[in-house]
Amino acid sequence: MEYILCVVLFCVGFYAVMAKKNLIKIVIGVAVMGYAINLFLLLAGFRMNSEAPIITGDMYGFRPVDPLAQAMVLAAVVTGLAVTLLLTALSIKLYEKYGTFDINEIKKLKG
């Protein structure tokens, strides 16, 4: 059931990237797609009735949570933030040069 939420979030972000003509909405769509992928990675590493791998007294019958997925998401969050900031800065520079966020208007302009 939770994986369906990941697919829905990814589809919403993909729709924003493909169908919208405003640069800010496209940047938000890219960020939403990144959040959907992060949620999927966290759900993939989740185990029911398990503990963190370092908080345990005995090793018999112990089911740890997969820490690799959490580490990957931590790296992906930092990378996603950098990409979002870069796209936002690029959008602002395009707005300063052309005076619009509409990609159709930017394509028509020369220079």
Question: At residue 61, does pLDDT exceed 70?
Answer: no
User: What is the tens place of the pLDDT at every residue in 62-81?
Assistant: 677 778 888 889 999 999 99
- Amino acid (1-letter code) at residue 51: E
CA atoms of 51 and 49, how far apart (whole Å): 7
Rounded to the nearest 5 degrees, what angle is found at the Cα of 82, between the Cα atoms of 80 and 88?
A: 100
**Is 0.85 topped by the overall pTM?**
no
For residue 16, give the nearest of 103, 105, 107, 111 by alpha carbon. 103
CA atoms of 93 and 96, how far apart (whole Å): 5
User: What is the tens place of the pLDDT at every residue in 14-29?
Assistant: 999 999 999 999 999 9
- With H, G, I as helix, E, B as strand and everything else as coil, classify residue 28: helix
Instruction: Tell me the Cα Rg of the chain.
Output: 20
Domain ranges in the chain?
A: 2-46+65-108
User: What is the tens place of the pLDDT at every residue in 34-55?
Assistant: 999 999 998 888 777 777 767 5
User: What is the tens place of the pLDDT at every residue in 75-106?
Assistant: 999 999 999 999 999 999 999 998 899 988 88
Architecture of domain 2-46+65-108: Orthogonal Bundle (1.10)
